[in-house]
Amino acid sequence: MINLLSLGEFNNGLLRFLRASPTPFHATSNLASRLMSAGFQLLREGDAWSLIPGNRYFLTRNDSSIIAFVYGKSDLLSSGIRMLGAHTDSPCLKVKPRAELNRRGYFQLGVEVYGGALLAPWYDRDLSMAGRVSFRDNQGHITSVLIDFERPIATIPSLAIHLDREANNSRSINAQKDIVPLILQLPTEDAALPDFRSILHAELLRQQPKIPVAKVLDYEISFYDTQGPSFVGLEQDFIASARLDNLLSCYVGLESIIQANDEVSSLLICTDHEEVGSTSCCGAKGPLLQQFLERLLPDIEQRVRVIERSMMISADNAHGIHPNFMDKHDENHAPILNRGPVIKVNANQRYATTSETASLFRWFCERAEVPVQTFVARSDMGCGSTIGPIVASEVGVKTIDVGCSTFAMHSIRELAGAKDGWWLYKAGSEFFNCEVPLVALNFS
Ligand SMILES: [Zn+2]
């Protein structure tokens, strides 16, 4: 018997997760602790494993990707594995390795743009920084810890309209020079620049006085908006937040797999680096999932047979039709916020959806009483992509691409419908709990 979260419980948990997860590292750490408290055991990739049916496991790679696995009691060859995938990363500004800049006594940090960020919304925000810091400790070991400054410590002021009268018509943004965050005013214009590693060192000690840092060696730090996620709208119809793409889907997957029963096998994979092509040791184009499946099923014939009976739901947000820009959608494939998850279809395989996987997803939604919409990009426009086609081509698993419709994708503040995450979670829970084997439904 599934004990589903109510809409309110789901959304409160989602907002907490979004607020506590400014980077993929933090998202992974929060996913891991929630899984741990729900009875999932940590597997270390460097250890030998003996996986036992009826148990629940999880593992992380690079502190930024995670797999959770419910090893069902029924035979994998008959049940297959129900998989749900999402990504932990979002477009942002990342601090460069030698970031320190002094311009007229303003201390700034040079940044690289990570992924396809929408840059204009980064101006005039109260920004903070978070990420991972690697340091040498007092014994000479190298250790990594997560850091989050939490408070507003940086800003990128707009250029006043008086200094650029064309700002509302034609302002473009140069990623090298126009969006450099300002973090401090030095006492004089030629004062010595603080070293960013020393700033990180001091902040680590401030947060954890007993931490044995001898020297900060390197870091992966990005900026984020300190304005937290929030309901928006006269009737609170919407959720505004950074990183809805794709922490919304990570949270849907997390709460769904926690609800999964012990009969059939279920798997959640949330990977880093989707926004930059997924090619990394922990990205969807890397060997993470394949290696997990190889260790679970070392025999190639068994593994291929199980994969043949499995299915992956790749969850990533879709574009809702925007009331101010109605001509950007195909009129018959224009999802509306709060009208249910969206099946994403693309004839050129930018999405992995097939008629078979779409039918199965519709069937799960029907059972869970969840409405479904469909998205196809305009035929005269390009189409985005996601981890679906990558996982499908790497692992050979039948895949569907779905997601919640949103506005302002890749902005520092995106907007989703307040009901859609919950709808997708209901569908995900049905997928993980439906007692009918996928093979009996369609696949053979
Ligand atoms: Zn995405």
Q: How far is the CA of 169 from the centre of ligand 1 (A)?
A: 29
Q: Look at residue 435 in the predicted model and tell me its pLDDT.
A: 77
Q: Look at residue 442 in the predicted model and tell me its pLDDT.
A: 54
Please answer whether residues 128 and 22 qualify as being in contact, where contact means their C-beta atoms are separated by less than 8 angstroms: yes
Q: Look at residue 2 in the predicted model and tell me its pLDDT.
A: 75
What gap in Å lies between CA 406 and CA 414, rounded to an integer? 7
Q: Look at residue 250 in the predicted model and tell me its pLDDT.
A: 98
What gap in Å lies between CA 14 and CA 44, rounded to an integer? 27
Q: How far is the CA of 212 from the centre of ligand 1 (A)?
A: 37
Q: How far is the CA of 203 from the centre of ligand 1 (A)?
A: 31
Q: How far is the CA of 102 from the centre of ligand 1 (A)?
A: 35
- Tell me the Cα Rg of the chain: 23
Q: How far is the CA of 341 from the centre of ligand 1 (A)?
A: 15
Q: How far is the CA of 370 from the centre of ligand 1 (A)?
A: 22
Q: Look at residue 444 in the predicted model and tell me its pLDDT.
A: 46
Q: How far is the CA of 415 from the centre of ligand 1 (A)?
A: 13
Q: Look at residue 441 in the predicted model and tell me its pLDDT.
A: 60
What gap in Å lies between CA 213 and CA 134, rounded to an integer? 9
Q: How far is the CA of 249 from the centre of ligand 1 (A)?
A: 9
Q: How far is the CA of 442 from the centre of ligand 1 (A)?
A: 29
Q: Look at residue 440 in the predicted model and tell me its pLDDT.
A: 59
Task: Kindly state the tokens that stand for 422.
Answer: 């919950």
The answer to whether the pTM exceeds 0.95 is yes
Amino acid at 40: F
List C-alpha distances in Å: 387 to 151, 205, 271, 278, 310: 33, 38, 9, 8, 17
Residues in the chain: 444
Please answer whether residues 310 and 304 qualify as being in contact, where contact means their C-beta atoms are separated by less than 8 angstroms: no
Q: Look at residue 3 in the predicted model and tell me its pLDDT.
A: 86
Q: How far is the CA of 146 from the centre of ligand 1 (A)?
A: 23
With both helix axes pointing from N to C terminus, report the angle between 7-20 and 244-258 in degrees, rounded to the nearest 10. Answer: 130
Please list the rounded mean pLDDT of every run of 10 residues in the chain (444 residues): 90 98 98 98 98 98 98 93 98 98 97 98 98 96 97 98 94 96 96 96 96 97 98 98 98 97 96 96 96 98 96 97 96 97 95 94 95 95 90 94 98 98 97 78 52
Q: Where would I find the H helices in 40-133?
A: 76-79
